[in-house]
Amino acid sequence: MKQKKILIVDDEPNILMSLEYAFKKKDFEVFIARDGTEAIEISNREKPNLILLDIMMPEMDGYETLKQVKDNEDLAHTKIVFLSAKSKEKDIEKGLKMGADRYLTKPFSMKKVISEIEELLA
């Protein structure tokens, strides 16, 4: 089976490190971006199976990043999971309406994040 590629996008180094570690242990090929602009560059190059995306970031936020991914024919099928501290009902609805496959809120349980993503990619 081909290794699954995941792109983790967050401007918080501790979150990036812990997620990267956890997914590498689960045998994912992990890429990391610190903002939306970087995320788009990496996505175009690596074509990840899934993007784990923060919303509040410098440069380009998660909503704009999602829009650009979905507007790109080569990436339109990419699964997107928001992982955000924005936990209001309206934020979650907006994220899902825009085309995210899942919306997980911070603080998060690593186990839950991994199981949601494995389920999505199964």
**Residue 63: predicted pLDDT:** 97
**Residue 1: pLDDT over 70:** no
What does the pLDDT average to over 45-74? 96
Q: Retrieve residue 56's tokens.
A: 């509040």
Query: Any residues with CB less than 8 A from the CB of 64 and at least 6 apart, and which?
Result: 36
Whether domain 5-121 has CATH 3.40.50.2300: yes
What does the pLDDT average to over 59-63? 94
What sign does the CA torsion over 13, 85, 62, 22 have?
positive
**Residue 113: predicted pLDDT:** 98
